[in-house]
Amino acid sequence: MDGWWGWLNRPERKGHSGGGFTQMEQWLRSRRGLAESLGEWAFYAAVILIVLALIKLFPYHLFKKTHKWLALAYLVLVYHTLVLLNTEYWIQPIGWIMAVLLLSGTVSAFWVLTGRVGRQRKVQGVIKSLNAFPGVRVIEGSIHLEQGWEGHLPGQFAFVTSKNTEGAHPYTIASAWNPNDPSLTFIIKQLGDWTGQLEQWLSVDMPVTVEGPYGCFDFNDTLPRQIWVGAGIGITPFIAKMKHLAQCPGQQEIDLFHVTTDYDQAAINKLTADALAANVRLHITVTPKDGRLTPEKIRAIVPEWHTASLWFCGPTGLGDTLRTDFLTNGLTSNHYHQELFAMR
């Protein structure tokens, strides 16, 4: 094929003859060795950083730093490309495409390195209340927000920073938005190193930074029924939606299945009150006592499931099991909604 439809044809040299090089070409060629070495090590570093970012045991505060380290590695690879790419390509379509990609990536890298990602979505706040539910190892905190938060939809999440060295952590918002009371409630399970320290670290009147909202788990459909399944701390987006329904009642029939291995009567009482206020039928499964929640149990309790959409938030394994079973039994794929429970 002739130069890939002419895109890679060698253009005629102008201004010099034979094997002569322009000053720019000479400068680039003088740095080929350095560019090759830096590019090789930057590639290895990028691979290692990507692998570390995917390992859940890798500490979260270091996981966040991999974003900046990857941005630095990318800039080194840009230098590598600029030096080693054949200079004649830059006046051809392949070079124009490469230039656009390198420029956009470079701008993005500097955006990350200067800490501008999400800056316009950040507002300051103060913790106004804290409640612990030791039976389920959960902390409920309410944050009063300063001006700047434009509201959120039930099911969305936000990043909260209470300690700069630890950085921002994502938490699902467990409250409906009320512009007359600019506050957010978060319910946090003590699962990892950082969340396990929160009960001792957090305090009323502590300043925090909130970034968001994010997410599309918004309960938006027109079907007559909805089935909600919240497993463990996955109950949080459903609490937010029930708070919203208590303020703005809907017309859909809703069954909420809450699955938990732990039990705290105070937490169950609050959940029951929220469901009653939202006109949601609540079904609680405490697995050590009631066994596992299965698709068959859900269909037995909600025989009209064919006319419903199913919304799930919780461990990925249970969600995948429900999805496979319900789709096999006839539920339409666009009527099954699963929140991405893990950030990595």
Q: What are 224-281's pLDDT values in tens digits?
A: 999 999 999 999 999 999 999 999 998 999 999 999 999 999 999 999 999 999 999 9
% of the chain with per-residue pLDDT over 90: 70
Stretch among 104-108, 176-180, 302-306 having the lowest mean pLDDT: 176-180
Which structure tokens are listed for 326?
A: 């319900």
Beta strands in 6-121 (DSSP E): none
Residue 252 burial (10 A CB sphere; 0-12, 13-18, 19+): middle
Look at the domain 225-338 and name its fold. Rossmann fold (3.40.50)
Q: What are 167-207's pLDDT values in tens digits?
A: 889 999 999 999 999 999 999 998 877 888 898 999 999 99
Residue-level pLDDT at 341 = 61
Residue closest to 244 by CA, chosen among 178, 187, 198, 159: 178
Looking at the DSSP bridge assignments, the partners of residue 126 are: 144, 207
Query: What is the SS3 assignment for 194?
Result: coil
Distance set, CA 210 to CA 93, 125, 186, 313 (Å) = 44, 7, 11, 22
Does residue 10 surpass a pLDDT of 70?
A: no
DSSP letter for each residue of 29-45: HHTHHHHHHHHHHHHHH
Maximum distance among all alpha carbons in the chain? 87
**Residue 12 — very low, low, confident or very high, per pLDDT cuts 50/70/90?**
low
Which structure tokens are listed for 321?
A: 């099991």
Does residue 6 surpass a pLDDT of 60?
A: no
Instruction: Give the residue extent of every domain in the chain.
Output: 23-113, 120-214, 225-338
Over range 138-164, report the average pLDDT: 93
Residues 6+ apart with CB under 8 A from 89: 8, 95, 98
Q: Which of 218-222, 327-331, 340-344 has the highest mean pLDDT?
A: 327-331
CATH class of 120-214: mainly beta
Residue-level pLDDT at 90 = 86
Residue-level pLDDT at 65 = 86
Over range 326-334, report the average pLDDT: 95
CB atoms within 10 A of CB 257: 24
